[in-house]
Amino acid sequence: MKTRITELFGIEHPIIQGGMHFVGLAELAAAVSNAGGLGIITGLTQKTPELLAREIARCREMTDKPFGVNLTFLPTVSSPDYPGYIKAIIDGGVKAVETAGNNPQKWLPVLKEAGIKVIHKCTSVRHSLKAEAIGCDAVSVDGFECGGHPGEDDIPNFILLPRAAEELKIPFVASGGMADGRSLVAALALGAEGMNMGTRFIATKEAPVHENVKQAIVAASELDTRLVMRPLRNTERVLTNEAVERLLQKERELGASIKFEDIIEEVAGVYPRIMQKGEMEAGAWSCGMVAGLIHDVPTVKELIDGIMAQAEGLIRQRLAGMLG
């Protein structure tokens, strides 16, 4: 399948693995790239630029295909060493960067000068147009269904994607709620040039996370995610557990006066405990509604080959057949 996204990144299939904190390590990124998609290492999971450089080198040992790095621009006071991370990306010869969070404008000239293609993740048409205007090569349009931060507009992909198609000139991928060949064909029909998946890639053999995390996703239904931190305007879609329900209780009780410090126990520093140690009640961790469509833990190659075969079958048989 050839689309503007496969052409842009030099990949075989129009499937991207979105950056995921404590999941997007070299093992997963390499597996996705080896299977013909675009694997992404999560920059900030590596505590220093030196560690990111090492992770990029490790990925390079496992694949000779293109892969990318995610840079999430957080609204934090103590800003990470972004110039250092960008230097590690450039020196490591990485040619694709997924940016997310705040506007990446400040960092675009140096990335572009190094010949790096930038795909910015946006949760609205307005932010997508901004990304286009500042010179991003593509956008990842992240609908309300998505795991992680869906923004504050709550527009699901059935509306958001065709709206993006109405306005954007640069190519975009559909993100949020994508799981299989049906998702890919639907995304293409709505105007996208491919899809980005997060949660689905966690439930794969190669994802370097504790088995408990994979089983929690397989066991979850589409009813099991919750939106936390909405009162802080930092909404995150997470899988429910005791810590999440406690957090939501605090949000109800404290109302508009709630501060980040009130919920720090449920959200700060929980990712290593969950992803590496499998302590599933440790706190809130991102997970999409798409968990309801995830029933197995295949290898990344089985997953991607299955998606492409299903998509081709849908297009050639089901859809073409309807035209008689």
Return residues touching ligand FMN (CB under 6 A): 18-21, 23, 42, 70, 72, 100, 121, 142, 145-148, 175-178, 196-200, 285-288, 290
Nearest to 293 by CA among 145, 161, 191: 145
Nearer to ligand FMN, 170 or 202 (CB): 202
Shortest distance (Å) from residue 195 CB to ligand FMN: 8
Nearest-CB residue for ligand FMN: 198
Nearer to ligand FMN, 2 or 308 (CB): 308
Nearer to ligand FMN, 98 or 132 (CB): 98
Shortest distance (Å) from residue 185 CB to ligand FMN: 16
Nearest to 184 by CA among 306, 299, 34: 306
Shortest distance (Å) from residue 311 CB to ligand FMN: 16
Shortest distance (Å) from residue 271 CB to ligand FMN: 8
Nearer to ligand FMN, 47 or 318 (CB): 47
Nearer to ligand FMN, 21 or 230 (CB): 21
Shortest distance (Å) from residue 242 CB to ligand FMN: 18
